[in-house]
Structure formats: C-alpha cells, structure tokens
Amino acid sequence: MQRKAKVTAGLPSAAKAARILGVPKKVAEDLSTLAERSWKTGEYNIPGFGRLVRVKSLACVRPASAKRNSKKTLAKREPRFRFVRFVKAS
C-alpha cells in the first residue's frame, strides 16, 4: 500500500550520487565543475572539452515562389544553445 514516505536523506551531494551510480571520478569532477561554473557565471563549459554558446534565432520572411506564398518565421523565445569544442593550444 502507498504510504507517506519519510525521507531521511541528507543534503544533495554529487559525490554521493556518483558513487551510487558508479560514475568515474574524473567524469564526476568534470560534471560538478560544469554545474558549479554555470551556477556562478551562467556559462556552460567543461574545462578541456567544450562549451555551449547561445544561438540567436532571428525572425525572417521566406520569399514567395511560384508554388507557395511567403512565409514568416518568428524569432524563437526559448534560448537555444549549440556546442563548441575548445581548440587545443599548439
């Protein structure tokens, strides 16, 4: 039967979650860094790997052709991001 659960879990911890799920230490550290940096600066990047850059989506009008009328596309409200790999310094 369903009961009201008494959750005694402590504060959330990425290290604990990584240990339970068997995530390699290096991966867990990189992901924690990603979370911590994005929390502070709003920039999503993983050191030595890459980052997300915001994609501007502009409103545009597709011109009419012989077969169809012109089509107006509005700018997207939700921010979209694309991935950019870091360039290694040679």
Element (H, E) at 79: none
* One residue of 11, 59, 61, 89 binding other proteins per CB under 8 A: 11
Cα Rg, the chain, nearest whole Å: 22
What is the end-to-end Cα distance of the chain in Å, rounded? 63
Among 9, 58, 66, 74, which residue interacts with other proteins (rule: CB under 8 A)?
A: 9
Helices (runs of H) and strands (runs of E) counted in the chain: 2, 5
Quick check: 57 binds other proteins (CB under 8 A)?
Answer: no
- The residue ranges that bind other proteins (CB under 8 A) are 1-14, 16-18, 20-23, 27-28, 30-32, 34-36, 38-39, 44-46, 49-52, 79, 81-83
